[in-house]
Structure 1
């Protein structure tokens, strides 16, 4: 697997590259956001710092999401709620605050790539619930004739819920399937992506909150 490391700090970039290579992956490092926008097509996963010398990392994320669904993990010193929420809403698949434990980083990378493989595995490739249609091969979801502008994580969350339509999917199952950790200290990533997904679906009552347990989509919504 080829990873793009977008990081302007030499020491941090070296540590990230060493960790990635030790896990059997290939890594390329750039220090500027403009460089990331030029070369992103060559890579399977992007590790993105927000404090870049030429562009704000959130602007880089916004531009990348206009052209690619490649998994993007934010690695940054910004731990304020606004930055976390904005990064996830702009399409980041995960948000890690520095200093990052390299073992945890590798686990998160494996989780997002496993999730991508999961949505392209051998299963029913076209799912429908009421007016909602989900095409797993094309990674496209639509309500009637309206194509939903979902981020990669929003799509994977929707696909997981639709595949279990009629049954409750627990928060732990979602966290484990999408982030590789059923017991994250903070599950606000899920809350942010779920809020974004519901807004884009614009189907009140479609995703039901089963209090204290998880979420359910009815197999035959009214």
Structure 2
């Protein structure tokens, strides 16, 4: 029976895990949403450099290809990082994935052609795929109480929050151009410091990693 003091049933570690996974997923949504907002201006600049006329059909087609490459990377990264997390630990692999999508999203500032941007978006997608499987695993393994589903819901809501933050950033800073916006997509890299410092491995995963070392 509930005592009404729900917060007493939640440990500091559980709060830290929730904060780390929600921030990571939210900033994933932030970086991905920024790209959608700047896709048109980016294609307008990059297609002529690629020898392609910038008519509406071309912008839609090649812009759509870069989005498709990101989604293929996302699906591949979800499987890949999910497997790696079982061998090397949740927080370590989550950190590597976040760094991957943050760095390769920001590297889009150096793209000169649509296909260079497409390659960068594919690699960013690989890293982006880490959040859903590994973040969800961290929540499930750390929140071993009646609030587990709520914690998972909070984490998933982070992605939507990231979209609103991206929209606000674009409204305030969009005049600086699409490259400046993509540089902002590197902000999720800062979450890695928080995760590596404050988010522990679930006990059974930590024990497994220790046993492998021995």
TM-score by length of 2: 0.28
More strand by share: 1
- Give TM-score, length-normalised by structure 1: 0.27
Normalized per residue, the structure richer in helix is 2
Pick 1 or 2: higher relative contact order, CA cutoff 8 A, min separation 6: 2
Larger Rg: 2
